[in-house]
Amino acid sequence: MTKSLRMRHRTTWLGSCLLLGGIALQAHAAGSAPMPSLIPQPARYQASGGGDFVLEAGARAGGNDDAARRAAGQFVELLARNGGPTLAVADDAGQAQVRFRLDPSATNTAEGYALKVSRTGIDISAGDDVGLFYGAVTAAQLLTGDVPGRVAAATIDDTPRFRWRGLMLDSARHFQSMDEIRKLLDAMAQHKLNTFHWHLTDDQGWRMQIKRYPKLTEVGSCRVPLGDAGRDPATGEPRRYCGYYTQEQIREIVAYAAQRHIQVIPEIDVPGHATAAIAAYPALGTTAKPLVIDNQWGVFPNLFNTDEATLRFLENVLLEVIDMFPARYVHIGGDEAVKDQWIASPRVQAHMRAIGAKNEMEMQSHLIKRLEKFLEQHDRRLIGWDEILEGGLPPEATVMSWRGTEGGLKAASEGHDVVMTPVTHMYMDYLQTSSPNEPPGRPTTIELRKAYEFEPVPAGLAADKRQYILGLQANMFTEHTRSHRILEHNLFPRLAAVAETGWSPADKRDFAGFLQRLPRQLQRYRAMGIDYAQTPFQVDMHDSGDRAAGTARVTLDNPLGYAVHYTLDGSEVGPTSPRYTQPLQVGLPAEIRAAAFFQDRPLAAASRFAVTADSLLTRDDTRLDLCPGDGKLLLRLEDDGPADGERATFNVNIFSPCWLWRDADLAGVSAVKVRAGRIPYNFQLAHDEPSRRFAPARTAHGELEILADCKGTPLVSLPLPAVPGADGFVELQAPLRTSSPRADLCIRFTGDTRPELWTLDWIKLETTR
């Protein structure tokens, strides 16, 4: 069994206390103020004369009716949470400096508000509670803006572009506590997001109490992870991963969200992603094969059967769901339902013939239409992933387009409501930079810019059909997101980009301006205790060298293009240090310190890089590419241990365990040393399984091979041991001789070693001294 793997250290952090401390921009005279650091950017902002408003000690917020006073109280909470002072709420708006007023004439748009800043204070008016709340969000941001406590005179008329501005959270793969959910809802509200799509059931867990079917949580809410995480470190006994929300807890979350004007949409996956439910109630399955709650990721074959008893089960579950969730929509999944079990089932095939379904897609459509009709009878609307288009779509169904925007374009063209959430731009479990410090996830990157520049309305959609695009949604699937720290890293600051796309007019969106406003938002995140991603704000390094000449070429970059300053003499880097403008030529050895700056303040703690003759001969997995070939599915995988705490991560192509060192300097190299570890292979690939490419093994446990340009006779071929060492690693060393001074090296492990997988930690070329 795989042992706990030692953590690796790449970047030295100086401490979070440096981050954005005390950013202050130059105050502007009234009438010449630029757009303040508001996210999302309001629809209309106009600077005006009359002097700035300065928040003095003893200032209060207030309103003249219950709705206005309620908004004033929410503003006080928002301001304090954003890092501002704690104000009192006045009984009379005339005694307040931040004043709220419910006024039906203030705006004619849903969720809109009007805000005016003058020397005497801030006035917010709206036609309903929602608009007052969003005005409170803006006021809190203004008072924690570029010059905290001082706001330039201006008027804001604001309303959202889209009525669906959502975030989906997967609580099935990894479970979040009630406090973590509440914290996330607070952050959503401060981004003016209004829809929380809660993914509560999947193959790996059923997280919602259904009183009529208690085994759904008694059985379906627990699994035993593979490897070290699934064993008690003290006793060696199985260690279960469990968690579900009681109906009382769900109602508490729904109420908490409603106070922040967020609707909660539950998701019950049908007919696929059903392993946990079938394990709890085997009669729901399509085969007689007994199931356990799965401890793997990927696409599974297990489907609900299509029997009448199973449909009644689903309707009974939906009755309790409807009772807990007052929102109009119920999400029924519909995605990734591999039909192999239905194809092989005489029972399902007979049912298809009985209803006249020509194929399994039409069978799924029949099931979806049955549930849609049931929900409609209970004053609810069905929403599902874009696979529900296949086989025919119920007339009132709403489509969530995830496999790109094509499904959404088709559905909207046919007159169906659509939420755009494509995997190409809106999946927050994809890494956001190429930094080696990114946490586990899918290394196909969705950078902040890519998330920001997504346009939810397809250019090819007819003008009279654009009304059917309800909005957009970010999706946070959690296969690789074991902790809340990683969850917040993945969501922030990309959720700010999603929020601005959902709220601000299309012609007002400007990524350069967004980057100017973002540093102040980071300060608010810090005040809220949000562990946002550091990787977009730190500096990355790439080096190549001439060992014979004792020099190296060093490239520095910040993923967002903020100004980079550096030092080469071991001193601390600051805003007066040299600014990086072009690759550096340095002598060996060299120590580079670098940081990204905005307004002369560091955006993240400085990174330190040591470049030596030895470092030029060493590469870890994060600095290697994929080998050429057809089979490519790169993941950044977390080790299976320790059971608690931080774990090592590895970049692995699970279709073909092979890593590429481009243009390796082989001059004088006489040997190679490789450090490899082994982790559980916990993936089901369904119809993608044939894409796996195992190089054939010649010995009992496979080999480590190193090839020049991934072809020909291996330069190195060493048999692998049956098990790694006590620390979970093995170090292998061999002579390496080649006549080429430089070559692309492919490092691979041969053989099908499942249910475990060898993974590369690092490779080092050794020279004759």
Q: Which helix (H) or strand (E) holds 718?
A: strand 716-719
| CA 533 – CA 461 distance, rounded (Å) | 35
pLDDT tens digits, 460-491: 999 999 999 999 999 999 999 999 999 999 99
Tell me the mean pLDDT per 10 residues along the chain, length 769.
40 32 34 78 93 93 94 97 95 91 88 96 96 98 95 97 98 98 98 98 98 98 94 90 98 98 98 98 95 92 98 98 98 96 98 97 96 97 95 90 96 97 98 95 93 97 97 97 97 98 97 98 98 98 91 97 97 98 97 97 97 95 89 89 88 94 93 96 90 91 95 95 91 91 95 93 91
Q: What is the pLDDT of residue 23?
A: 33
Catalytic machinery residues: 336
Are 134 and 192 part of one and the same domain? Answer: no
Phi, psi values for residue 630, rounded to 5°? -80, -40
Torsion over CA: 301, 302, 308, 312 (sign): negative
Reported as a single tens digit per residue, the pLDDT across 67-88 is: 999 999 999 999 999 999 999 9
Amino acid at site 438: E
Residue whose entry in the numeric block shows the structure tokens 């696979």: 387
For residue 6, being part of any structural domain is answered with: no
Do 606 and 625 lie in one domain? The reply is no
Residue 106 near residue 114, CB atoms below 8 Å: yes
Which of 94, 125, 158 lies at the terminal end of a domain, its last residue?
158
647 assigned to some structural domain: yes
Evaluate whether residue 126 is within a structural domain.
Answer: yes
The CATH number covering residue 150 comes to 3.30.379.10
Same domain flag for 408 and 464? yes
Cα 185 vs. chain centroid, distance in angstroms?
A: 15
pLDDT tens for residues 588-625?
999 999 999 999 999 999 999 999 999 999 999 999 99
Strands 669-680 and 658-665: unpaired
Give the number of domains in the chain: 4
Q: 497 is written with which tokens?
A: 């980009």
Give the tokens for residue 451: 């998330």
CB 739 within 8 A of CB 701: no
Q: Nearest 5°: phi and psi at 689?
A: -55, -40
Q: Based on the domain organization, do 374 and 445 belong to the same domain?
A: yes
Contacts of 428 (CB under 8 A, 6+ apart): 446, 474, 475, 476, 490, 491, 494, 495
For the chain, state the CA radius of gyration.
28
Confidence at residue 34, expressed as pLDDT on a 0 to 100 scale = 76
Domain boundary among 134, 158, 182: 158
> For position 769, what pLDDT does the model report?
64
Same domain, 481 and 372: yes
Nearest Cα residue to 602 out of 575, 623, 631: 575
Domain membership of residue 79 as a residue range:
25-158
* Separation between Cα atoms, residue 381 and residue 373, nearest integer Å: 9
CATH code where residue 275 lies:
3.20.20.80
Are 194 and 120 contained in the same domain? no
pTM of the model: 0.94
Residue 147 within any structural domain of the chain: yes
In a domain? residue 58: yes
Assess if residue 13 is contained within a domain: no
Residues 332-341, buried b or exposed e (16+ Cβ, 10 A)?
bbbbbbbbeb
Beta pairing, strands 150-151 & 241-242: unpaired
Give 361: exposed, middle or buried? Use CB within 10 Å, 0-12, 13-18, 19+. Answer: middle
Q: Are residues 262 and 401 in the same domain?
A: yes
- What is the number of other CB atoms lying within 10 angstroms of the CB of residue 660? 19
Helices (H), 383-508: 406-413, 448-452, 484-491, 494-503
Backbone angles phi, psi at 106, to 5 degrees: -65, -35
Residue with tokens 């990524």: 511
- Pick the last residue of a domain from 158, 193, 212: 158
Buried b or exposed e, range 188-225, using 16+ CB within 10 angstroms = bbbbbbbbbbbbbbbbbbbbbbbeebeebbebbbbbeb
Same domain, 755 and 678: yes
Does a structural domain hold residue 622? yes
Q: 3-state SS of the chain: helix, strand, coil percent to 5? A: 25, 30, 45
Residues 366, 284 share a domain: yes
Query: What is the rounded CA–CA span in Å between residue 481 and residue 175?
Result: 10
Pairing of strands 381-385, 398-401: parallel
Q: Are 71 and 180 in the same domain?
A: no
Distance between CA 436 and CA 558 in Å, rounded?
A: 13
Q: What is the CATH number of the domain that holds 563?
A: 2.60.40
- 412 inside domain: yes
Regarding whether 434 and 565 lie in a shared domain, the answer is no
Q: Is 446 exposed, middle or buried (0-12, 13-18, 19+ CB in 10 A)?
A: buried
* Together in a domain, 323 and 209: yes
- DSSP, res 285: B
**Tokens encoding 91:** 């009984």
Q: DSSP assignment, residue 6?
A: P
Angle between helices 494-503 and 484-491 (to 10 degrees): 50
